[in-house]
């Protein structure tokens, strides 16, 4: 089995190791445009020696933002602002960079977590969320606007437009967000999808719009550029019809035939009734099952915090890669420390080589400073 510090190929892209920084919303954009915060935040993570850094959930339209502060890529201003960030990252770090494209659906128009995270009414500066069906996320919230077929065509075009902007910006890969109760997940789950047309009802129909979006994006970007998907493998809701692991496996089989390059395996988010057994590595078994049944390249996520834990997931064949989020916020040099603990090697800027404690030079390979 490969190890945590072995390279891995995703279509035309080769990652130097199997450690990924998960996309983590920062709620700090200005009308969708990246700010100085994004430059500081991503620059810190880009220097950490990871295999791939994934930029946070990036809305493909204004109404597709989770919060008013969410990053977006729907207009030229957004593209120019993100270009400033990308240009700096490319100058200082060799890290491979992906972007996660998203539409929040009925979970849009929310306050930032530190402001409570609840739905912002239109009268308070929010907007009417859009969804597969006029079914609210919480019983006490107003119902979202049910999307028409013409709306679906427009949103699919928004994903394609954002993907093309990502290509122009020099991103190495794209991940589509179909997890955590956002729009593509809302189509998959019968909890949120009550449609009676060809986009609702049967599993095939509920899969239809997410698959159309994937195919449209896959066609719009260069053939060598990998495109992955983050999915909630289960809704964790047992007392009503919901999205399950078995259905996820069927979705992955269908998408793999269309050119899916990896699956980022998360769970939950579509219903406040979810019952999640949270603990270290609590979602890893989902990635393992999907990998076993479909052969797709998988990323395991969810309370993976320790170096040996991450290494065991990869070497044990439970997933091909691991993605960490909060652990990297706490320790942007997590990959350095993991390499030091496990006798691995990662990339590091030469300006920082002398920072390593005595006896840890092998973390960056053989180092010779050549100083007088």
Asked if residues 235 and 181 have their Cβ atoms less than 8 Å apart, the reply is no
Whether pLDDT at 48 is above 60:
yes
Reported as a single tens digit per residue, the pLDDT across 138-154 is 999 999 999 999 999 99
Element (H, E) at 8: strand 8-10
Q: Is residue 190 part of a domain?
A: yes
> Is residue 345 helix, strand or coil?
coil
Q: Is residue 168 part of a domain?
A: yes
Average pLDDT, the chain: 95
Reported as a single tens digit per residue, the pLDDT across 84-104 is 999 999 999 999 999 999 999
Q: What pLDDT band is residue 195 in, cutting at 50, 70 and 90?
A: very high
Counted residue by residue, the chain has a size of 372
Q: Is residue 234 part of a domain?
A: yes
Rama region for 234: left / alpha / beta (φ>0; ψ in -120 to 50; rest) = beta
Q: Could you give the CA distance from residue 5 to residue 14 in angstroms, rounded to a whole number?
A: 13
Asked if residues 245 and 238 have their Cβ atoms less than 8 Å apart, the reply is no
Q: Is residue 372 part of a domain?
A: no
Q: Is residue 279 part of a domain?
A: yes
> Tokens 């130097």 map to which residue?
16
> Is residue 136 helix, strand or coil?
coil
Q: Is residue 3 part of a domain?
A: no
Q: What pLDDT band is residue 53 in, cutting at 50, 70 and 90?
A: very high
Q: How far is CA 154 from the centre of its chain?
A: 22
Q: Could you give the CA distance from residue 322 to residue 51 in angstroms, rounded to a whole number?
A: 10
Reported as a single tens digit per residue, the pLDDT across 274-330 is 999 999 999 999 999 999 999 999 999 999 999 999 999 999 999 999 999 999 999
What are 53's strand-pairing partners?
Answer: 21, 97
Q: Is residue 79 part of a domain?
A: yes
Residue partners of 342: CB distance under 8 A and separation at least 6: 4, 5, 307, 308, 311
Active site residues: 182
Q: Is residue 336 part of a domain?
A: yes
State the CATH number of the domain containing residue 266: 3.20.20.70
Domain that holds residue 292: 8-364
CA angle 25, 172, 258 (to 5 degrees): 95
Q: Enter the tokens of residue 95.
A: 């890290």
Q: How many domains does the chain have?
A: 1
Q: Enter the tokens of residue 306.
A: 């320790």
Reported as a single tens digit per residue, the pLDDT across 196-227 is 999 999 999 999 999 999 999 999 999 999 99
pTM of the model: 0.96
What local confidence, expressed as pLDDT, does residue 368 receive? Answer: 47
């Amino acid at each position: 089995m490969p190890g945590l510090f072995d390279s891995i190929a995703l279509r035309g892209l080769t990652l130097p190791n199997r450690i990924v920084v998960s996309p983590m919303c920062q709620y700090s954009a200005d009308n969708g445009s990246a700010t100085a915060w994004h430059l500081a935040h991503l620059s810190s993570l880009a220097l950490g020696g990871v295999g791939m850094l994934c930029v946070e959930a990036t809305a493909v339209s204004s109404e597709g933002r989770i919060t008013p502060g969410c990053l977006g890529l729907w207009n030229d201003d957004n593209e120019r602002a993100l270009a400033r960030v990308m240009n700096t990252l490319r100058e200082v770090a060799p890290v491979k960079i992906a972007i996660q494209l998203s539409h929040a659906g009925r979970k849009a128009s929310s306050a930032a977590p530190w402001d409570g995270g609840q739905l912002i009414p239109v009268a308070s500066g929010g907007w009417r969320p859009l969804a597969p069906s006029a079914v609210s996320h919480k019983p006490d919230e107003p119902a979202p606007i049910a999307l028409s077929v013409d709306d679906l065509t427009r949103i699919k075009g928004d994903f394609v437009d954002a993907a093309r902007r990502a290509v122009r910006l020099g991103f190495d890969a794209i991940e589509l967000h179909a997890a955590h109760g956002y729009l593509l997940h809302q189509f998959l789950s019968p909890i949120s999808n009550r449609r009676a047309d060809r986009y609702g009802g049967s599993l095939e129909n509920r899969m239809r719009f997410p698959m159309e979006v994937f195919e449209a994006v896959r066609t719009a970007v260069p053939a060598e550029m990998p495109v992955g998907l983050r999915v909630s493998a289960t809704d964790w809701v047992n007392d009503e019809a919901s999205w399950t692991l078995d259905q996820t496996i069927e979705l992955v089989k269908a998408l793999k035939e269309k050119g899916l390059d990896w699956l980022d395996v998360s769970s939950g988010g579509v219903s406040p009734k979810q019952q999640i057994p949270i603990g270290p590595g609590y979602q890893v078994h989902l990635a393992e099952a999907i990998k076993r049944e479909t052969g797709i390249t998988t990323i395991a996520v969810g309370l993976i915090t320790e170096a040996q834990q991450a290494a065991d997931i990869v070497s044990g064949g439970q997933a091909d890669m691991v993605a960490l989020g909060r652990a990297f916020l706490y320790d942007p040099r997590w990959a350095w420390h993991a390499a030091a603990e496990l006798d691995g090697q990662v990339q590091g800027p030469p300006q920082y080589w002398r920072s390593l404690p005595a006896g840890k030079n092998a973390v960056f390979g053989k180092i010779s400073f050549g100083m007088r």
